[in-house]
Chains A and B, each alone.
Chain A
């Protein structure tokens, strides 16, 4: 099992450019999440999905769009990148939500994508 993988690992964009970050998991997890990690801010939830074909907003959704066309993939899109979106982006997945089946409730994280917007 590869677990959670993210593509690309690094990317530099100019302001106004667009790009898509890909997250893939091979654990048959229902739930998938996108976080961003900024110095002094901790990790914050951008968007999440509770199943194929569903998406919902997290804490900091502005400037991002997501899609979950296949259960194993969760895409994060930046339509018009801004310097404020310079960050490290993490994808995570889980089988069950916390509190339902605790042994399967933990979130598994990908290695991250380091994005710089100039």
Chain B
């Protein structure tokens, strides 16, 4: 059974610091890996999606890497800002049995606080 682990569970940093969030998964037979952001009381916002054949994806100050063979992904946030405060979720995609669709298996998230 696929398990996704995120470390640390919580992180507090001063504004301007560069930081790394970690995600690991037990079964390397994934299709893709996706990083989400969740604000309190809100839904999930997709940040980056990395296909299994890719090594990394970048969007603005965010960079996500994927090492499928070792079952690891990292989300790098450069020059952090108070507005980055949120819970970050990692999810890997696995095949569903019907219709060629795929499901996401989520980690429990890392709660990030960026202090002004």
Contacts and interface: CB of A to CB of B under 8 A. Distances in A.
Interface of A: 4, 31, 33, 40-45, 48, 50-51, 54, 56, 58-59, 90, 92, 97-100, 102, 105-112
Contact of B103 (A45, A105, A106): A45
Given A42-B109, A54-B99, A110-B43, 9 more contacts: A42-B108, A50-B100, A50-B101, A54-B98, A56-B97, A98-B31, A98-B49, A99-B93, A109-B36
Interface in B32-76: 32, 34, 36, 41-46, 49, 51-52
Contacts of B49: 98, 102, 105-106
Interface string B89-116: 1010100111111111011110000000
Contacts of B101: 31, 48, 50, 97
Contacts of B99: 50-51, 54, 56, 97
Contacts of B46: 106-108
Contacts of A41: 108
